Amino acid sequence: MKISDKTFDVLKNFSSINQSLAFKAGNVVRTVSPQKNILAQATVAESFPKDFAIYELNQFLGLKSLFEDPDFDFNDSAVTIKEGSGKANYTFADPSMIITPPEKNIELPSQEVTFKMTKDAFRKTVNGANQLQLPEVVVRGSDGKMFVVATDTKNATSNEFDVEVGTTDQTFQFVFKVENLKFLSGDYDVTISSKGIAHFAGESVQYWVATESNSTFG
């Protein structure tokens, strides 16, 4: 079978959440961070023929760079990657060695805040955090407006960069670590629960991310 570049982009993104991945037969790929504070799921174009596990996902992805457009042949214990006269065999890992996501996705216990986060708004905010060396992204509601803000909530005089994303009649501050917002580029429908979890739903990928303990609502 062939595996598209778009699917490899998903797998590369997921490798930033967990270096290992347990695949299930079918076209849905899921992963969870070792700390269990990030869950991700993507629907891909390909349908994987069997369950298998990869322990060093980046190593597996790196094999792709040795080929232009290879075929992937999955057997019981390994995948064979071949093109022309070149061939690589990559042995599967024992699934028990891998931290795997729960069988079911997370149902948010409540939905206090919802908004559309555009690709541009998210890109600017993360770039602002990186440029100013800020550790957090905050979804903040105050004075009738809602912002996505790059900041440091532990520093009262922190530099900040913000993008307005909507209106609200609530006051809140939901805090996320920048390192936990490793999303594929795209627009996301965002739903946040005051119970400590947020859902970011894109076109074919979605993430559930825990909010930090200093988040506030009301």
Length of the chain: 218
CA angle at 154 for the pair 144 and 15, rounded to the nearest 5°: 90
Stated pTM of the model: 0.95
pLDDT tens readout for residues 137-166: 999 999 999 999 999 999 999 999 999 999
pLDDT confidence bin for 171, thresholds 50/70/90: very high
Helices (H) and strands (E) in the chain, counts: 3, 16
pLDDT tens for 86-105 read 999 999 999 999 999 999 99
* Buried b / exposed e along 1-17 (16+ C-beta atoms within 10 A): eebeeebebbbebbbbb
Question: Six-digit token pair at 56?
Answer: 């060093």
Helix locations, 17-86, DSSP H: 57-63
What's residue 65's pLDDT? 87
Classify the phi-psi angles of 11: left when phi > 0, otherwise alpha if psi is within -120 to 50, otherwise beta: alpha
**Domains, the chain:** 5-97 (3.70.10.10), 113-217 (3.70.10.10)
Residue carrying the six token digits 């996705």 = 105
**pLDDT band of 64, cuts 50, 70, 90:** confident
Q: What is the pLDDT of residue 80?
A: 96
169 phi and psi, to 5 degrees?
Answer: -105, 15
